[in-house]
Structure 1
Amino acid sequence: MRTTVSVIGVGYLGAVHAASMAELGHEVIGLDVDVDRVGALNDGRAPFHEPGFEEILRRGRDRDLLRFTTDYAELAKVDVHFLGLGTPQRADGNGADLTYLQAAVDALCEVLPARDGAPTLVVGKSTVPAGTARMLADQLEQIDGVRLVWNPEFLREGFAVKDTLAPDRLVYGVRDPEDVEETEQVVGMLDAVYAQILERGTTRLVMGYEAAELVKVSANAFLATKISFINAISEMCEATGADVTDVARAIGMDDRIGVKFLRAGVGFGGGCLPKDIRAFMASAEDLGIGESLAFLREVDAINERRRARVVDLAAEMLGGLEGRRVTVLGAAFKPDSDDVRDSPALDVACRLRTAGAAVTVTDPEALGGVEKRVPGMPTEADLDEALRGAELVLLLTEWGQYKELDPARVRELVADARIIDGRNVLEPRQWREAGWEVRSLGRP
């Protein structure tokens, strides 16, 4: 069944969600206050790099199922409104900044409802502190016929289209799961939007608002903890001469632990994990139970130490950084993304440059973001040119083309054959046999 859908906030999350809803056959209006972004999306141009996104964006536009606007009045007769606003870290602390989300809800309330008494559903997708959904529901439900469901996203950058169209679960947060009549109505409306996904057997979980909010931040906190755990073990490995890849492989064979997110390296970054674990800590402190999540402070600290360790290792290998030519492979926080928010790779590049190194950054997709976020940072799109004359190479984002480099060929480009594998994705023996000095985090 076709539903009319709006997605308010068409940044990374919202734009992917809007195009995916059109891919499911719904009529979709995406709204944003950014005129340039709206214009690009209406032209079928992706404002960010995400595999598969531009294809479904153009397909939705070509089928006349997807359009974008800056005018809230165009949303008045829509059945289901998704809130995809960003919740960045506050400038004055660790908590989540809900300014954009609240402004969107205020603006939406001005045009609702205009549907001749038919129910209207508002669906929250943003990552928020527990209690936010209930606060917004109190505001929205003052308007007759409007109901709120909290439906957190679990997107992985680089896999966002797949994760939207074929998620491993759908979580619905409702005001009162024990209110059967009310719950059945709002769940039924959201089920209609996700009908194709549910027909494929996707698990759907219905719970209270606060539980749905905690699912997302708890998942991110656990992933961050697992990454920092193996990086803490890598510190032990460096101190003892053990190889962290051996340790990770062995403990990962225990199905209670698993191998995912057990690759030691320069740590996590991006627009979600760092700010979400800090917001989670701030939320716990606001509730008077800050000590319950105090371990996340060390998770965050371990992650920061990994970046400093790479800089120290570079200085050690070069005998000092002043004036030394260093090439950084990668700027995005992960491959298949152009997102440089809190990127470990870019942070390390900045630290090296501050310490006096002559740094060149290369990345297949993220150099535009580098130029906006760190004006003046030397960049080079051509990989060979970026490598030419380097005295030290740092692999900090594990793009496929970096993992597959031929060490013998690269040896002919650089001034000195030294490399730091900040992601533990290279085969050290192969590189050493080609004449390279190789250092990796947590490996002898």
Structure 2
Amino acid sequence: MKAVVFSLGCKVNTYEGQAIISFLEANGIQATDKPCYADAYIINTCSVTAEADKKSRQAVERMRKYNRNARILVIGCSSQNDGSAYRQKNVSLSGVGGKIQSVAEFLQLGVDKNGDFTVDLPLTYEEMNIPKPTRTRGYIKIQDGCNNFCSYCRIPYLRGRSRSRKIESIVEEAKTAALHSKEIVLTGINISDYRDGENGLTELVYALKDVCARKRFGSLECEVIDDKLLSAMEECGFCDHFHLSLQSGSDAVLKRMNRRYTARFYQEKCESVRKYFPAAAITTDIITGFPLESESEFEETCEFVEKIKFAALHAFPYSERKGTAAYSMPQIDKRIRSERAGKLIEIGKKLADEFIRSHIGSIAEVYAEESKDGISEGYTSNYIKVYSSLKPGELAKVKLTEVMADGAKGEIV
């Protein structure tokens, strides 16, 4: 039997997809994440925006083109968000909890049957792991769910409340990943919420100190940044790249979003980061055209972005999500949302170029991840993309010599 596991959306979904592949292979089933002819398709969906829901639904028909008679299991956030849209497509359905269990039940039914396995939102962390990373960089999921309930976001309703993985389990997988990869990335839905009993991110950092690989966090909330965590990261050799979600530089907009900080508080956290990591790349996400966002509030965000000097930013037009508090607020015209996102993207490009230029002439360790025509793409610890002659999987010192369109050219030292 052959199965395709197709994941959309975030790094967590990618990790879960690879864990499902490992589970299938351990049970004698040939599995891949590359779309092709197969007996069964498992689609791990995303619902972060309306567009993500649309792409998730389209993935069902995309997989069917390879084999009209194949069985399809739809799991993840989009199936949890709107199961009726998938039931019409004659597929088996599950939500976000018990993904491995759902896959096992799906396969046990046999090739000629169908059914639903929708489960309630999970209360405990679902253990899963990847025995061997399938990509050059090893992702490790440490947490799931979210307790924040930002007014624009459906994720707490789809993924459930925050729950975390045991430190020992994380360290065990990290040590295994380090045998195959020179960099690991700790990821989750909201890893700033990480708790294992009395232990939080700081204790996890110390527990990973002796893992022989470069280590970095995925996205963090600014509230979790403090001297204790930064000192631990510095001591334990964590990468100097901090993706701190901002969403808006206007206090009024942040309040409507139910974000629990002010622009000034966020700025202070960035200053703390740079105290410990002077060359740190601070990157972020911003939503434009949030309900009631005035022109002056948007300009506050633009000015704040320039003040922080982000190394890179992702700007997205606000997307209405039914069931959220923001859905019932007065909406901004979609054209204005897109125009504002476009303006921020241009500011982001300028700031990214300035950040890269500030590192030209410096020497940094670069981890090469993929190669084409003898030129590899890799990243410094502070996440500058570097083009060099390193081979994929190599970690070596490289001198940054020239600014490229989306990174820098480097020469092996």
TM-score w.r.t. length of structure 1: 0.34
Larger Rg computed on CA atoms: 1
Larger strand percent? 2
Larger helix percent? 1
TM-score w.r.t. length of structure 2: 0.36
